[in-house]
Amino acid sequence: MRVQHLWARISVALIGLLSGLVAPTDAQAGRVVASILSVNLTNPVTANGNGVSQITFSVYSPGIGRQANIGTSPAGISVSSSPGVNRYGGIGGTQAGLNVGFAGNYVVNITLTPLRVYRPGENVRFTLTVQGTNTIRITSAMGGSAPMWFDNSSPPRALRPGPTLPGFTVNPRDAEYIAYNDTGSAFAITNLQYLPNITQSQFDSINLDAVLSQTPTLPGITLPPSGLFDQTGLPDPQPGNLFAAVGQLVDPTDNTVVGSFAEAVVTAVPEPGSITLALIGLGVLGAVQLSLRSNPRRGGRSDQENEEIRDDAGPWV
Protein backbone atom coordinates (compact mmCIF):
# COMPACT_ATOMS: atom_id res chain seq x y z
CA MET A 1 0.00 0.00 0.00
CA ARG A 2 2.92 2.32 0.63
CA VAL A 3 3.96 2.01 -3.02
CA GLN A 4 0.44 2.75 -4.18
CA HIS A 5 0.32 5.84 -1.98
CA LEU A 6 3.69 6.88 -3.38
CA TRP A 7 2.44 6.47 -6.93
CA ALA A 8 -0.61 8.58 -6.10
CA ARG A 9 1.62 11.40 -4.92
CA ILE A 10 3.84 11.01 -7.97
CA SER A 11 0.75 11.10 -10.19
CA VAL A 12 -0.30 14.51 -8.89
CA ALA A 13 3.20 15.93 -9.23
CA LEU A 14 3.76 14.45 -12.70
CA ILE A 15 0.43 15.65 -14.07
CA GLY A 16 1.14 19.14 -12.76
CA LEU A 17 4.59 19.13 -14.31
CA LEU A 18 3.38 17.84 -17.66
CA SER A 19 0.56 20.36 -17.73
CA GLY A 20 3.15 23.10 -17.42
CA LEU A 21 5.17 21.59 -20.24
CA VAL A 22 2.23 21.26 -22.62
CA ALA A 23 0.60 24.62 -22.00
CA PRO A 24 2.37 27.31 -24.06
CA THR A 25 3.54 30.36 -22.19
CA ASP A 26 2.80 33.88 -23.38
CA ALA A 27 6.40 34.16 -24.58
CA GLN A 28 6.13 30.96 -26.61
CA ALA A 29 2.77 31.93 -28.10
CA GLY A 30 4.14 35.30 -29.29
CA ARG A 31 7.59 34.22 -30.47
CA VAL A 32 8.52 35.24 -34.04
CA VAL A 33 11.12 33.36 -36.07
CA ALA A 34 11.25 35.58 -39.18
CA SER A 35 9.85 38.63 -40.94
CA ILE A 36 9.12 38.83 -44.67
CA LEU A 37 8.78 41.81 -47.00
CA SER A 38 7.61 41.02 -50.53
CA VAL A 39 7.19 43.84 -53.08
CA ASN A 40 5.94 44.18 -56.65
CA LEU A 41 6.99 47.60 -57.99
CA THR A 42 6.19 49.20 -61.30
CA ASN A 43 9.32 49.44 -63.43
CA PRO A 44 10.54 53.07 -63.74
CA VAL A 45 12.39 52.44 -67.00
CA THR A 46 10.72 53.62 -70.19
CA ALA A 47 10.03 51.26 -73.09
CA ASN A 48 13.25 52.24 -74.86
CA GLY A 49 15.33 51.99 -71.70
CA ASN A 50 17.67 49.18 -70.65
CA GLY A 51 16.09 47.88 -67.47
CA VAL A 52 16.75 47.92 -63.73
CA SER A 53 20.05 46.25 -62.83
CA GLN A 54 20.45 47.12 -59.14
CA ILE A 55 18.43 48.14 -56.06
CA THR A 56 19.88 49.55 -52.84
CA PHE A 57 18.21 50.29 -49.51
CA SER A 58 18.89 50.14 -45.77
CA VAL A 59 17.07 48.02 -43.19
CA TYR A 60 16.59 48.76 -39.51
CA SER A 61 15.88 45.76 -37.28
CA PRO A 62 17.10 44.98 -33.75
CA GLY A 63 20.39 43.04 -33.87
CA ILE A 64 20.47 42.79 -37.67
CA GLY A 65 24.01 44.18 -37.85
CA ARG A 66 25.70 41.17 -36.24
CA GLN A 67 28.81 39.92 -38.02
CA ALA A 68 27.14 36.75 -39.35
CA ASN A 69 24.75 38.90 -41.40
CA ILE A 70 27.44 40.87 -43.23
CA GLY A 71 28.68 39.96 -46.71
CA THR A 72 27.30 38.05 -49.69
CA SER A 73 26.09 35.01 -47.74
CA PRO A 74 24.46 36.44 -44.62
CA ALA A 75 23.24 33.88 -42.09
CA GLY A 76 19.96 35.58 -41.23
CA ILE A 77 19.06 37.55 -44.37
CA SER A 78 17.93 36.19 -47.73
CA VAL A 79 16.31 37.43 -50.92
CA SER A 80 14.44 35.73 -53.74
CA SER A 81 12.05 36.60 -56.55
CA SER A 82 8.90 34.98 -57.90
CA PRO A 83 6.96 34.02 -59.91
CA GLY A 84 9.18 32.64 -62.65
CA VAL A 85 12.93 32.20 -62.46
CA ASN A 86 14.48 33.26 -59.16
CA ARG A 87 16.76 36.16 -60.10
CA TYR A 88 18.64 35.70 -56.83
CA GLY A 89 19.15 31.93 -56.95
CA GLY A 90 22.65 30.68 -57.66
CA ILE A 91 23.89 27.21 -58.61
CA GLY A 92 22.41 24.54 -56.36
CA GLY A 93 19.95 26.97 -54.84
CA THR A 94 22.62 29.14 -53.21
CA GLN A 95 22.03 32.80 -52.49
CA ALA A 96 23.13 35.14 -55.28
CA GLY A 97 22.84 38.84 -56.02
CA LEU A 98 22.78 39.93 -52.36
CA ASN A 99 25.39 42.00 -50.54
CA VAL A 100 24.89 43.24 -46.97
CA GLY A 101 27.06 46.00 -45.51
CA PHE A 102 27.34 47.01 -41.86
CA ALA A 103 25.96 50.41 -40.86
CA GLY A 104 25.28 49.77 -37.17
CA ASN A 105 24.06 47.13 -34.75
CA TYR A 106 20.50 47.85 -35.85
CA VAL A 107 21.06 48.93 -39.46
CA VAL A 108 22.51 47.27 -42.57
CA ASN A 109 22.88 48.49 -46.15
CA ILE A 110 21.54 46.06 -48.74
CA THR A 111 22.48 45.86 -52.41
CA LEU A 112 20.46 43.65 -54.75
CA THR A 113 22.01 42.77 -58.11
CA PRO A 114 19.65 40.38 -59.93
CA LEU A 115 21.19 37.69 -62.12
CA ARG A 116 18.85 38.90 -64.87
CA VAL A 117 17.97 42.56 -65.37
CA TYR A 118 14.37 43.69 -64.82
CA ARG A 119 13.60 44.68 -68.41
CA PRO A 120 11.27 47.56 -69.35
CA GLY A 121 7.70 46.51 -68.67
CA GLU A 122 8.72 43.86 -66.10
CA ASN A 123 7.72 44.69 -62.55
CA VAL A 124 10.52 44.75 -60.01
CA ARG A 125 9.71 41.90 -57.63
CA PHE A 126 11.68 40.57 -54.72
CA THR A 127 11.09 39.02 -51.31
CA LEU A 128 13.36 39.87 -48.38
CA THR A 129 13.40 37.57 -45.33
CA VAL A 130 15.09 38.47 -42.04
CA GLN A 131 15.40 35.76 -39.40
CA GLY A 132 14.71 36.23 -35.70
CA THR A 133 12.82 39.52 -35.79
CA ASN A 134 9.31 40.96 -36.02
CA THR A 135 10.53 44.16 -37.68
CA ILE A 136 11.73 45.25 -41.11
CA ARG A 137 11.99 49.04 -41.40
CA ILE A 138 13.40 50.78 -44.48
CA THR A 139 15.47 53.69 -43.19
CA SER A 140 17.63 56.50 -44.48
CA ALA A 141 18.92 57.38 -40.98
CA MET A 142 21.52 55.92 -38.58
CA GLY A 143 24.04 55.25 -41.35
CA GLY A 144 21.41 54.09 -43.82
CA SER A 145 20.62 55.48 -47.27
CA ALA A 146 17.36 56.23 -49.07
CA PRO A 147 16.14 53.47 -51.41
CA MET A 148 17.54 53.76 -54.93
CA TRP A 149 17.56 51.79 -58.15
CA PHE A 150 19.84 51.90 -61.17
CA ASP A 151 19.57 51.13 -64.85
CA ASN A 152 21.82 48.83 -66.88
CA SER A 153 24.04 51.55 -68.28
CA SER A 154 27.81 51.47 -67.89
CA PRO A 155 28.27 52.90 -65.33
CA PRO A 156 24.74 52.35 -63.91
CA ARG A 157 22.60 55.49 -63.79
CA ALA A 158 20.32 56.27 -60.85
CA LEU A 159 16.61 56.28 -61.69
CA ARG A 160 14.32 58.92 -60.15
CA PRO A 161 12.29 58.79 -58.04
CA GLY A 162 13.62 55.89 -56.03
CA PRO A 163 11.62 52.77 -55.17
CA THR A 164 8.90 52.92 -52.52
CA LEU A 165 9.55 50.27 -49.87
CA PRO A 166 7.28 50.01 -46.82
CA GLY A 167 8.54 49.12 -43.34
CA PHE A 168 6.59 47.32 -40.64
CA THR A 169 6.43 45.67 -37.24
CA VAL A 170 3.96 42.95 -36.22
CA ASN A 171 3.38 41.94 -32.61
CA PRO A 172 1.53 38.61 -32.94
CA ARG A 173 0.41 38.34 -29.31
CA ASP A 174 -2.69 40.57 -28.94
CA ALA A 175 -1.85 41.27 -32.56
CA GLU A 176 -0.71 44.72 -33.61
CA TYR A 177 0.42 45.93 -37.05
CA ILE A 178 2.56 49.05 -37.47
CA ALA A 179 3.49 50.55 -40.85
CA TYR A 180 6.48 52.90 -40.99
CA ASN A 181 7.93 55.48 -43.34
CA ASP A 182 11.51 56.04 -42.21
CA THR A 183 12.58 57.61 -45.51
CA GLY A 184 12.53 61.17 -46.79
CA SER A 185 9.66 60.72 -49.27
CA ALA A 186 5.97 60.43 -48.47
CA PHE A 187 3.86 57.52 -49.67
CA ALA A 188 0.37 56.17 -49.03
CA ILE A 189 -1.05 52.68 -48.46
CA THR A 190 -4.42 51.76 -49.95
CA ASN A 191 -6.59 48.62 -49.99
CA LEU A 192 -4.83 47.38 -46.86
CA GLN A 193 -5.95 43.88 -45.85
CA TYR A 194 -4.93 41.69 -42.93
CA LEU A 195 -4.45 37.94 -43.24
CA PRO A 196 -3.89 37.11 -39.57
CA ASN A 197 -3.61 33.32 -39.65
CA ILE A 198 -2.24 31.87 -42.89
CA THR A 199 0.33 29.24 -43.78
CA GLN A 200 3.62 29.83 -45.55
CA SER A 201 2.27 28.29 -48.76
CA GLN A 202 -0.77 30.59 -48.63
CA PHE A 203 1.53 33.59 -48.22
CA ASP A 204 3.69 32.45 -51.13
CA SER A 205 0.59 32.19 -53.33
CA ILE A 206 -0.53 35.80 -52.77
CA ASN A 207 -0.98 37.36 -56.21
CA LEU A 208 0.66 40.77 -55.96
CA ASP A 209 -0.21 41.52 -59.59
CA ALA A 210 -3.89 41.23 -58.66
CA VAL A 211 -3.32 43.51 -55.66
CA LEU A 212 -1.49 46.00 -57.88
CA SER A 213 -4.36 46.11 -60.40
CA GLN A 214 -7.04 46.98 -57.84
CA THR A 215 -8.68 50.40 -57.98
CA PRO A 216 -7.03 52.42 -55.20
CA THR A 217 -9.22 53.68 -52.37
CA LEU A 218 -7.91 57.21 -51.98
CA PRO A 219 -6.54 59.01 -50.08
CA GLY A 220 -5.66 55.82 -48.19
CA ILE A 221 -3.26 55.84 -45.26
CA THR A 222 -0.79 58.67 -45.87
CA LEU A 223 2.65 58.22 -44.34
CA PRO A 224 4.79 61.37 -44.45
CA PRO A 225 8.51 61.11 -43.67
CA SER A 226 8.89 59.70 -40.13
CA GLY A 227 5.17 58.81 -40.16
CA LEU A 228 3.57 55.62 -38.91
CA PHE A 229 0.22 53.85 -38.85
CA ASP A 230 -0.66 51.66 -35.86
CA GLN A 231 -3.53 49.13 -35.82
CA THR A 232 -4.23 47.17 -32.63
CA GLY A 233 -6.87 44.62 -31.63
CA LEU A 234 -6.22 42.26 -34.55
CA PRO A 235 -6.66 38.46 -34.41
CA ASP A 236 -3.66 36.41 -33.28
CA PRO A 237 -2.09 33.82 -35.60
CA GLN A 238 -1.91 30.21 -34.47
CA PRO A 239 1.60 29.02 -33.54
CA GLY A 240 3.51 28.12 -36.70
CA ASN A 241 1.33 30.32 -38.92
CA LEU A 242 1.89 33.78 -40.36
CA PHE A 243 0.31 37.15 -39.71
CA ALA A 244 0.33 39.06 -43.02
CA ALA A 245 -0.67 42.48 -44.32
CA VAL A 246 -1.27 43.14 -48.02
CA GLY A 247 -1.84 46.41 -49.84
CA GLN A 248 -0.96 48.93 -52.52
CA LEU A 249 1.70 51.65 -52.49
CA VAL A 250 0.66 55.06 -53.83
CA ASP A 251 2.60 58.21 -54.70
CA PRO A 252 0.48 60.89 -52.97
CA THR A 253 1.77 63.67 -55.23
CA ASP A 254 -0.24 62.35 -58.19
CA ASN A 255 -2.16 59.37 -56.66
CA THR A 256 -0.33 56.91 -58.93
CA VAL A 257 -0.14 53.31 -57.75
CA VAL A 258 3.59 52.51 -57.75
CA GLY A 259 3.53 49.01 -56.30
CA SER A 260 1.96 46.35 -54.13
CA PHE A 261 3.30 44.54 -51.09
CA ALA A 262 2.84 41.63 -48.72
CA GLU A 263 4.41 41.77 -45.26
CA ALA A 264 4.40 38.99 -42.69
CA VAL A 265 5.88 37.58 -39.52
CA VAL A 266 6.35 33.84 -39.08
CA THR A 267 5.47 32.55 -35.62
CA ALA A 268 7.25 29.67 -33.89
CA VAL A 269 6.03 26.10 -34.10
CA PRO A 270 5.48 24.58 -30.60
CA GLU A 271 8.42 22.39 -29.65
CA PRO A 272 7.36 18.74 -29.98
CA GLY A 273 9.67 17.56 -27.20
CA SER A 274 7.44 18.77 -24.36
CA ILE A 275 4.27 17.33 -25.87
CA THR A 276 5.94 13.99 -26.58
CA LEU A 277 7.31 13.85 -23.05
CA ALA A 278 3.87 14.56 -21.65
CA LEU A 279 2.24 11.77 -23.63
CA ILE A 280 4.94 9.25 -22.74
CA GLY A 281 4.79 10.19 -19.09
CA LEU A 282 1.03 9.92 -18.88
CA GLY A 283 1.13 6.58 -20.73
CA VAL A 284 3.69 5.13 -18.31
CA LEU A 285 1.78 6.43 -15.33
CA GLY A 286 -1.45 4.87 -16.56
CA ALA A 287 0.23 1.52 -17.19
CA VAL A 288 1.74 1.43 -13.70
CA GLN A 289 -1.55 2.31 -12.02
CA LEU A 290 -3.38 -0.36 -14.03
CA SER A 291 -0.76 -2.93 -13.07
CA LEU A 292 -1.09 -2.09 -9.38
CA ARG A 293 -4.86 -2.41 -9.49
CA SER A 294 -4.81 -5.76 -11.27
CA ASN A 295 -2.16 -7.26 -8.95
CA PRO A 296 -1.94 -5.57 -5.55
CA ARG A 297 0.95 -7.85 -4.51
CA ARG A 298 3.24 -5.78 -6.76
CA GLY A 299 2.34 -2.72 -4.81
CA GLY A 300 3.09 -4.27 -1.38
CA ARG A 301 1.36 -6.60 1.10
CA SER A 302 -2.36 -6.48 1.58
CA ASP A 303 -3.93 -5.37 4.90
CA GLN A 304 -4.80 -9.00 5.73
CA GLU A 305 -1.19 -10.12 5.15
CA ASN A 306 0.16 -7.35 7.36
CA GLU A 307 -2.27 -8.34 10.12
CA GLU A 308 -1.20 -11.99 9.92
CA ILE A 309 2.47 -11.02 10.15
CA ARG A 310 1.83 -8.91 13.23
CA ASP A 311 -0.02 -11.81 14.90
CA ASP A 312 2.87 -14.18 14.21
CA ALA A 313 5.66 -11.82 15.19
CA GLY A 314 4.42 -10.83 18.59
CA PRO A 315 4.19 -7.39 20.24
CA TRP A 316 7.41 -5.98 18.64
CA VAL A 317 6.00 -5.60 15.15
Asked if residue 235 belongs to a domain, the reply is yes
Query: How confident is the model over 111-145, as pLDDT tens digits?
Result: 999 999 999 999 999 999 999 999 999 999 999 99
Asked if residue 25 belongs to a domain, the reply is no
Asked if residue 148 belongs to a domain, the reply is yes
Asked if residue 309 belongs to a domain, the reply is no
Asked if residue 282 belongs to a domain, the reply is no
Asked if residue 57 belongs to a domain, the reply is yes
**C-alpha distances out from residue 283 to 52, 215, 289, Å:** 62, 58, 10
Query: pLDDT tens, position by position, for the chain (317 residues)?
Result: 554 554 445 454 444 444 444 445 545 557 999 999 999 999 999 999 999 999 999 999 999 999 999 999 999 999 999 999 999 999 999 999 999 999 999 999 999 999 999 999 999 999 999 999 999 999 999 999 999 999 999 999 999 999 999 999 999 999 999 999 999 999 999 999 999 999 999 999 999 999 999 999 999 999 999 999 999 999 999 999 999 999 999 999 999 999 999 999 999 998 765 545 455 555 545 544 545 455 555 445 555 554 544 444 444 33
Q: How many domains does the chain have?
A: 1
Asked if residue 9 belongs to a domain, the reply is no
Asked if residue 221 belongs to a domain, the reply is yes
- Structural domain including 140 reads 31-267
pLDDT of residue 23: 47
